Structure 1
Amino acid sequence: MEKKSLNSEIAGYIGKLLRDNFGKGPTSVYVSIKKPFISIYLKDFLAPIERLLVGQKNYQKVEETRDLMFEELIPEIKATLRVSADLHIKNFYYDWSLENKTGVLLGVMDNSESNDEHFYPEFPNKEILEEEMIKVSEIAQKAPDLLNSMYLNNRTLVMERKGILTELEKELIREGNKEQLLLSKRQLEKRLLDIKVFESILGVGIKDVFVDWDFYLDISYLIFIVKPK
């Protein structure tokens, strides 16, 4: 199947799935595949009841509900992509910008689709960008053991961090505080990111920032959606 056709098919599937489960799907779904990643960017995605909660600034309730919903949906999405698109997704990461009514799903394919070389391509100021991200990580938790970054397309920049959890955070996870820790870390990191600094480094405007973790693998993905030149 041609790449554009495959992307369109996946976008249509995701849009219908969300519409069936939330009562309202996104108006636009943008799919990009660059192994070992697949990114799915959602625009104008906010169900009627979520719109009410967001209007009341009750963001945490919406995020908690979506996390529960997507824990149920992710296995179905993985299975469908494996059968219909021959994409073997090992893990999915997701996050939302409720005020912007946007969201992103980032799938990471299994080891057979991945190797360290996918991060090698350079782009302007990549080293400076990663140094700034290390500073943010040091304030929020600790400097990552490993940090890599790459563009999936001219709109989507992915930063992968491994080994960033502190011993206190690991203990909180062991004690069953995973969801609260996740919500708190999302808010903290986004607040610490100085968008103007990152825009200056990248030389482009930033429309959205998303971040998610796999606490058990001690890995995090941060996604910038930028305005292409």
Structure 2
Amino acid sequence: MIKTTQENMQYLSSKLSKQLKRRFGKGPETCYVMQKGKRFYVYMRNFIIPAEEVLINSNELNLATNFRSTVINTVVKDFIPEVEKVLGNLYEYFRSDWDYERNTGILLFEINDMVEEQIEVSFEKSLLKLLDEIGSKTHKKATCLKIVSYSQNICTIESKGVLLQLERFVYQKGDFDLLLHQAREIKKEYMNCKHLFEDIFNRSIEDIFIIWDYEKDRNDIVFIFNKEYREN
């Protein structure tokens, strides 16, 4: 029997939740998966385990992040073949971002051969202008900004050329603690401007993630929308 897209998504969500529970001793309260174009997303809520709580309460956020990344990377190695088999795509890149304050996180799987979204021009111009203004205050002004995914649930903007020379040097030296700290500060600035983004989207935003790829000098800014539309 051929499975529907919804059945495939439910299967993958259940599969990942079980794998996470086996590795962490606890699975996420919510594990929502979605495919948009050549990207596959996993959005999770309420997934902090007691060991992480101890680190977070001790203000050891970098240790908590490194611990989670190590385990997640192991889980993903087992999960990716299942995703590729079910969806029929070969995913070449995987990245993630976590918000311990909100207890949410996102996994992003992507294919090298990306298909560009067709976006209404005036909307795209307004959104990219705001991103450009905020980005230039918090990190190097991006050399390229483009919307790569947009639906009623999610919007993803890819930014290229976002690293300062010092940041590239820090990455090459392997000082990831400094980069993790900076990434959190940058995301705070975007969250502080959430109302400005909501005005442009005319949607209530549930979460904002910034998924960094230091090796390729880029990041993905991901907006997760609440289900309801805003009232003007």
- The one-letter code sitting in structure 2 at the alignment partner of 1:213 is W
- The one-letter code sitting in structure 2 at the alignment partner of 1:190 is K
Aligned to 2:5: 3
Matches within 5 A, 1:102-181: 102-111=104-113, 114-115=114-115, 118-122=116-120, 125-177=123-175, 179-181=176-178
Paired residues, what number?
Answer: 224
User: Unaligned stretches of 5+ in structure 1?
Assistant: none
Distance 1:124 1:14, change over 3 A: farther
Give the C-alpha shift of residue 50 in structure 1.
1.9
Structure 1 CA distance for aligned equivalents of residues 104 and 40 of structure 2 = 17
Residue 221 of structure 1 pairs with residue 223 of structure 2: no
User: Unaligned stretches of 5+ in structure 2?
Assistant: none
Aligned to 1:206: 205
Q: Percent identity?
A: 22
Aligned to 2:188: 191
Structure 1 CA distance for aligned equivalents of residues 154 and 54 of structure 2 = 30
Give the C-alpha shift of residue 86 in structure 1.
2.0
Q: CA RMSD in A?
A: 2.0
Distance 1:75 1:123, change over 3 A: farther
Give the C-alpha shift of residue 91 in structure 1.
0.8
Structure 2 CA distance for aligned equivalents of residues 50 and 216 of structure 1 = 27
Q: 1:15 aligns with which of 14, 17, 26?
A: 17
TM-score by length of 1: 0.89
Structure 1 CA distance for aligned equivalents of residues 131 and 216 of structure 2 = 20
Distance 1:128 1:86, change over 3 A: same
SS in 2 for 1:205: strand
SS in 2 for 1:157: strand
Asked whether the 8 Å contact 1:124–1:202 carries over to 2, the reply is: no
Aligned to 2:34: 32
Asked whether the 8 Å contact 2:117–2:150 carries over to 1, the reply is: no
Once the two structures are superposed, residues 127-156 of structure 1 have per-residue CA deviations (whole angstroms, 9 ceiling, x without a partner) of 211111112221222111111125443121
Asked whether the 8 Å contact 1:32–1:153 carries over to 2, the reply is: no
TM-score by length of 2: 0.88
- The one-letter code sitting in structure 2 at the alignment partner of 1:183 is L
Asked whether the 8 Å contact 2:147–2:157 carries over to 1, the reply is: yes
Q: 1:88 aligns with which of 61, 82, 90?
A: 90
